[in-house]
Amino acid sequence: MAAPRTLFEKIWDRHVVHQREDGHTLLYVDRHLIHDGSRRAFEVLGERGLRVRRPDRTFGTPDHYVPTTSRSMDGVDDPDRRLMVESVTKNAREHGVTVFGLDDPRQGIIHVVGPEQGLTLPGMTLVCGDSHTSTHGALGALAFGIGASEVAHVLATQTLWQRRPKTMRISVEGRLGPGIGGKDVILAIIAKIGAAGAVGHAIEYAGSAIRTLSMEGRLTVCNMSIEAGGRAGMIAPDETTFAYVEGRPFAPKGAAWEKALAFWRTLPSDPEARFDREVALDGAEIAPMVTWGTSPENAAPITGRVPDPAGIDDAERRTAMLKALDYMGLEPGTAISGIPVQRVFIGSCTNSRIEDLRLAARVAKGRKVAASVHAMVVPGSGLIKREAESEGLDRIFKDAGFEWREAGCSMCVGMNGDLVAAGDRCASTSNRNFQGRQGKGARTHLVSPAMAAAAAVTGHFTDVRSLLQG
């Protein structure tokens, strides 16, 4: 019998083109996704007179720089920004690559669009010039982010030189409480293992709490693998995965579907497979999470308080914490529930899928955004926007006083001009609370969509469980 292998190892082994003795592996890339940040890579290709090797395996959509107030670039005066958006379509056309442009309802955040279109499939290797490519691992793919030089390398050769990362299994067992979702799970994981906790590792999320998550919840968990330092994050494909993939535009059909399904069922880690590291969490203990600092590891339950640096022995860590609290304008010991917010952002590749919008709408329904708060909802793709509108979610949001926008990265990173003002505090469903991430001096608190909606309607962080009762 063959030695037991993990999900990661099974996918890796099947994609080795060339193995060097020094450990470097030339790995084949099944799917390559591009976006409006990929301009530099096409420049490199042009400088060398190279062509895209597999345009049929390459797909893209503009997301980072697109306006969310309209579907036209006409209002965008910054020529650099226009060029970023226009170049992805232009480059794609020149190289025969499929791109869902601004005028296409399939446009959206690349990590939302890939799974939605059935471009992301179990057992695949998938890369994209963006760190949150780990998202796609939720379908049981090996997916990771790469830099611009590597994007050029993949465009030209459909391969990448990689060293095999170590493996880490994070098991979350038990039942998640009501109102607790994928976002709370991953924030609790990062709070436990730290922002560098999984550096050099491919993570597999496992356990009953993970298996009971919907596909949307799983995508949220895998999305933030990079915030834990992980190279990739993945979840074994199962019936939830197959039900999600079936019937999507680029998913296999008919006999090919049956054949694919039979193969995908062989992918989950063998029971005896060994991981380099194991971490376990109790799912029943996870509360709605809120970050209070400038690293995703600075997360606490809504029932908690801003920690006191005085209690930290390590001098460097104490200094880092003091700096973070100073930037965030928070006093040690403050109860998290009750901290006022001025902005609410529901969106990003972490939490802009239909289920996220439904959860937020459930909280917003029949309530009003607090007078002191400016709140907006930015769906992850044009198709999600349509779906939400057909369910009447847009009305719920608009009636409550939320802005309802077009798809894009938007305030997650602010490259399109959707920014948080200096000193303002934002409850955000995105993935990074770094200094200046949402704008210079902006104070970001990462939360789930339900918690963001709760903050919007109460004007401060509130335990969403108290709003969901009855």
Q: In this complex, which beta carbon is closest to ligand SF4, that of residue 32 or of residue 132?
A: 132
3-state secondary structure of 310: helix
Q: In this complex, which beta carbon is closest to other proteins, that of residue 28 or of residue 424?
A: 28
Tokens found for residue 354: 């239909």
Say how many C-beta atoms besides its own lie within 10 A of residue 34's C-beta. 28
* Cβ 128 to ligand SF4 shortest distance, Å: 9
Close Cβ partners of 419 (under 8 Å, ≥ 6 residues apart): 411, 438, 439, 442
Residue 111 Cα distances to 133, 314, 464, angstroms: 6, 38, 27
**340, β-bridge pairs:** 460
User: Exactly one of 109, 127, 228, 359 binds ligand SF4 (CB under 6 A); which one?
Assistant: 109
As a whole number of angstroms, the distance between CA 284 and CA 177 comes to 6
Close Cβ partners of 243 (under 8 Å, ≥ 6 residues apart): none
Contact between 394 and ligand SF4 (CB under 6 A)? no
Give the DSSP per-residue string, 131-192: GGGGGGGGGT-EEEE--HHHHHHHHHHSEEEEEPPEEEEEEEESPPPTT--HHHHHHHHHHH
Partner whose footprint covers residue 109, from other proteins, ligand SF4, none (CB < 5 to 8 Å by kind): ligand SF4
Contact between 430 and ligand SF4 (CB under 6 A)? yes
Contact between 98 and other proteins (CB under 8 A)? no
* Cβ 410 to ligand SF4 shortest distance, Å: 7
User: Exactly one of 213, 412, 427, 454 binds ligand SF4 (CB under 6 A); which one?
Assistant: 412
**403, β-bridge pairs:** 376
Q: Select from 98-106, 205-213, 303-311, 405-413 the region that touches ligand SF4 (CB under 6 A).
A: 405-413
As a whole number of angstroms, the distance between CA 79 and CA 165 comes to 40
Contact between 409 and ligand SF4 (CB under 6 A)? yes
Contact between 64 and ligand SF4 (CB under 6 A)? yes
In contact, 406 and 376? CB cutoff 8 Å = no
User: Exactly one of 70, 72, 149, 303 binds other proteins (CB under 8 A); which one?
Assistant: 149
User: Exactly one of 94, 96, 199, 308 binds other proteins (CB under 8 A); which one?
Assistant: 199
Contact between 348 and ligand SF4 (CB under 6 A)? yes
43-72 positions binding other proteins, by CB under 8 A: 43-44, 48, 53, 57, 65
Contact between 132 and ligand SF4 (CB under 6 A)? yes
Give the DSSP per-residue string, 329-378: T--TT-BSTT-B-SEEEE-TTTS-SHHHHHHHHHHHTT----TT-EEEE-
As a whole number of angstroms, the distance between CA 53 and CA 158 comes to 6
Q: Select from 140-148, 337-345, 385-393, 395-403 the region that touches other proteins (CB under 8 A).
A: 140-148
Contact between 269 and ligand SF4 (CB under 6 A)? no
As a whole number of angstroms, the distance between CA 187 and CA 356 comes to 16
User: What backbone phi and psi angles, to 5 degrees, belong to 9?
Assistant: -65, -35
Q: In this complex, which beta carbon is closest to other proteins, that of residue 279 or of residue 421?
A: 421
Q: In this complex, which beta carbon is closest to ligand SF4, that of residue 123 or of residue 229?
A: 229
In contact, 198 and 225? CB cutoff 8 Å = yes
**Which DSSP symbol is given to 66?**
-
User: Exactly one of 243, 256, 284, 335 binds other proteins (CB under 8 A); which one?
Assistant: 256
Interface mask toward other proteins for 204-233; x: CB under 8 A: ----------------------x--x-x--
* Cβ 336 to other proteins shortest distance, Å: 21
Q: Select from 2-10, 121-129, 205-213, 381-389 the region that touches other proteins (CB under 8 A).
A: 121-129
Q: Select from 80-88, 327-335, 406-414, 445-453 the region that touches ligand SF4 (CB under 6 A).
A: 406-414
401-420 positions binding other proteins, by CB under 8 A: 413-415
Binding site for ligand SF4 (CB under 6 A): 63-64, 109, 111, 130, 132, 348-349, 409, 412-413, 430-431
